[in-house]
């Protein structure tokens, strides 16, 4: 709405705007604020869940020591292991680095396909 007397606005001519503009803009601002607040909250919750899931897969020094020990058992001194022994190594490692002793053949095949 325009103030009467400014920029050619007059109530007699009816060109000062519409009275429904004020409730429209107030409602618009409230709805947009609610939507943006919901989006902001959703991003925070999603980030929290993703961080919580990643906490379960963090490596610790004990897991790395076990990996180094098992790797040295299969390594012939060249810093590599034969591909045939990779499955044995991964089966002996915990799931943070390997498959674990309870891994099924489909888990091993899925890992080989991912490599």
Q: What is the pLDDT of residue 15?
A: 73
What are the extents of the domains in the chain?
1-56, 61-114
Summary mean pLDDT of the chain: 81
Question: Burial code of 51-69, b = ≥16 C-beta within 10 A, e = fewer?
Answer: eeeeeeeeeeeebeebbee
13-31 average pLDDT score: 87
Q: What is the pLDDT of residue 33?
A: 97
Q: What is the pLDDT of residue 56?
A: 64
pTM of the model: 0.44
For the stretch 40-83, pLDDT in tens is: 999 999 988 887 776 666 677 888 888 888 888 888 888 888 88
């Amino acid at each position: 709405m325009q103030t009467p007397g400014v920029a050619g606005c007059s109530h007699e001519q009816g060109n000062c705007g519409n009275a429904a503009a004020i409730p429209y803009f107030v409602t618009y601002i409230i709805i947009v604020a609610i939507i943006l607040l919901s989006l902001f909250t959703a991003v925070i919750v999603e980030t929290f869940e993703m961080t919580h899931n990643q906490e379960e897969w963090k490596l610790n020094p004990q897991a790395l020591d076990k990996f180094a020990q098992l790797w040295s058992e299969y390594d012939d001194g060249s810093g590599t292991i034969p591909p045939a022994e990779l499955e044995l190594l991964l089966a002996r490692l915990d799931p943070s680095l390997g498959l674990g002793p309870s891994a099924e053949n489909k888990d091993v095949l899925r890992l080989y396909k991912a490599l």
